[in-house]
Amino acid sequence: MSVSENKPSPHTNTQERVLSGMRPTGALHLGHYHGALKNWVRLQSELNCFYFVADWHALTTHYENREVIEKNVYEMVIDWLAAGLDPNQCTLFLQSRIPEHAELFTLLAMGTPLGWLERVPTYKDQQEKLKDKDLSTYGFLGYPLLQAADILIYRAKHVPVGEDQASHVELTREAARRFNHLYGREADFAERVAVSLEKMGKDAAKRFEKSRKKFQETGDTASLEGALGFVAAHSELSASEKERLQGYFKGTGKSILVEPQALLTEASRLPGLDGAKMSKSYNNAIAMREDKASIEIKIKRMPTDPARVKRTDAGDPERCPVWQFHKVYSDVATQEWVSTGCRSAGIGCLDCKQPIIEAVLREQQPMLERAQPFVDNPKWVRDIVDAGTDKARQVARETMRDVREAIGLAY
């Protein structure tokens, strides 16, 4: 078998980690479900997914009302389970139970220029938006770097996030590059490579060296990808040894921290009841586990095209938030019924909303069913989070060992 034949597919390679987190500041709503959670659920069967409750992140904005956080940590995990996250397929954990996140944050902070954080677009935006809170804090400025630590500590390759968080993943990439540049070249790099090659076995090592030579002479990317996969598949090597060998192959030295990619959620976005972004603080949200009567009332009260004052006035779906819901919830036939009926005043707005009410309730039913056992047995939720946290902690500890060693803190 040649090195290049062993290229892993992204779907079977268990090495590729996905990491994402959510802040526990309230009941999750249908905007979260359609904008993020549905995607998380899909990814859990494809890659090695780690999802966490970002309670420290919530504190950056809620340090004065932390009871909101306390109330929502496990409730949010129930929302996740309701959406279909399966603790047998992914790892669910709680940030504040893994203080290694804070340790990496501190170490990254030493070499991170202030300007990097001041220039993150969410910094000024959020300060503007959340005027009732004093966000001129050190914690709030630093929170994208805490996010970088969250990601880098799991050496995650993919970070599913919305558009608004893309700049944080970019900062994460810069932080990783800077760290690797500052601390990535070990004094005994060559000796360590030799030890790992020996572990691989003589034949494998020989093929690896041959392929490396070819890559360095010709820049042949197929042999590069092949070799990276070949190394990844060697289970007798630790994650850190694999990193080093891959760096050796590329000629870059060991990269201690891995640059992640943002996995931007495809735009199946569901706006709020009034057409603005769905958010609990705008009072335009439907919670994932909201009671049925309340869902019905909220949808019936949704504003429609302002031009349709009387039932006989024709309307324009493009100017109506109900239409945005039809785009997410209705099939083509129903959408055509809306479009024609609205423009010709053939249907009333309440008629138009009925299929939405039904679709939302239909979507919600299996979520309620999945949530119920956990609502009845809160301890099950805690057990899931405990087990996930133990698993995540092992990975975090392995990275931190490498990080401390790379900086020279292993004395």
Binding positions for ligand SF4, rule: CB under 6 A: 304-305, 308, 315, 317, 320, 322-323, 338, 342, 347, 349, 352-353
Residue from 113, 117, 137 nearest 127 by CA? 137
Tokens 């039809």 belong to residue: 326
Task: Give me the DSSP letters along 351-402.
Answer: HHHHHHHHHHHHHHHHHHHHHHHHHH-HHHHHHHHHHHHHHHHHHHHHHHHH
For the bound state, the minimum distance from the C-beta of residue 165 to ligand TRP, rounded and expressed in Å, comes to: 6
Task: Answer yes or no whether residue 54 interacts with ligand TRP by CB under 6 A.
Answer: yes
**CB closer to ligand TRP out of 151 and 227:** 151
Task: Give me the DSSP letters along 162-204.
Answer: -GGGHHHHHHHHHHHHHHHHHH---TTHHHHHHHHHHHH-HHH
Task: Answer yes or no whether residue 21 interacts with ligand TRP by CB under 6 A.
Answer: yes
**CB closer to ligand TRP out of 30 and 161:** 161
- Paired with 21 in beta bridges are 52
- Paired with 18 in beta bridges are 49, 158
For the bound state, the minimum distance from the C-beta of residue 240 to ligand SF4, rounded and expressed in Å, comes to: 57
**Coil, helix or strand at residue 260:** coil
Residue from 182, 144, 148 nearest 164 by CA? 144
For the bound state, the minimum distance from the C-beta of residue 304 to ligand SF4, rounded and expressed in Å, comes to: 4
Task: Answer yes or no whether residue 44 interacts with ligand TRP by CB under 6 A.
Answer: no
Residue nearest to ligand TRP (CB): 21
**CB closer to ligand SF4 out of 119 and 300:** 300
For the bound state, the minimum distance from the C-beta of residue 411 to ligand TRP, rounded and expressed in Å, comes to: 31
CA distance 170 to 118: 14
Q: Provide CB contacts within 8 A for 113, sequence distance 6+.
A: none
Six-digit token string for 346 = 């053939």
For the bound state, the minimum distance from the C-beta of residue 242 to ligand TRP, rounded and expressed in Å, comes to: 23
Residue from 245, 34, 60 nearest 145 by CA? 60
Interacting residue with ligand TRP among 147, 211, 255, 265 (CB under 6 A) = 147
Residue from 21, 300, 305 nearest 156 by CA? 21
**Coil, helix or strand at residue 51:** strand
Task: Answer yes or no whether residue 149 interacts with ligand TRP by CB under 6 A.
Answer: no
For the bound state, the minimum distance from the C-beta of residue 332 to ligand SF4, rounded and expressed in Å, comes to: 15
**CB closer to ligand TRP out of 267 and 333:** 267
Task: Answer yes or no whether residue 35 interacts with ligand TRP by CB under 6 A.
Answer: no
**CB closer to ligand SF4 out of 197 and 322:** 322
Task: Answer yes or no whether residue 278 interacts with ligand TRP by CB under 6 A.
Answer: no
For the bound state, the minimum distance from the C-beta of residue 311 to ligand SF4, rounded and expressed in Å, comes to: 10
CA distance 238 to 212: 20
β-pair type (261-264, 158-161): parallel
For the bound state, the minimum distance from the C-beta of residue 285 to ligand SF4, rounded and expressed in Å, comes to: 19
**CB closer to ligand SF4 out of 141 and 349:** 349
Q: Which does 258 bind (CB under 5 to 8 A by kind): ligand SF4, ligand TRP, none?
A: none
β-pair type (261-264, 91-94): unpaired
CA distance 63 to 51: 23
**CB closer to ligand SF4 out of 160 and 317:** 317
Q: Which does 147 bind (CB under 5 to 8 A by kind): ligand SF4, ligand TRP, none?
A: ligand TRP
Interacting residue with ligand TRP among 150, 186, 241, 305 (CB under 6 A) = 150
**CB closer to ligand SF4 out of 102 and 349:** 349
Q: Which does 161 bind (CB under 5 to 8 A by kind): ligand TRP, ligand SF4, none?
A: ligand TRP
**CB closer to ligand SF4 out of 264 and 347:** 347
How distant is the alpha carbon of residue 110 from its chain centre?
A: 26
Residues that bind ligand TRP in the complex, under the rule CB under 6 A: 19-23, 54, 57, 147, 150-151, 159, 161, 165
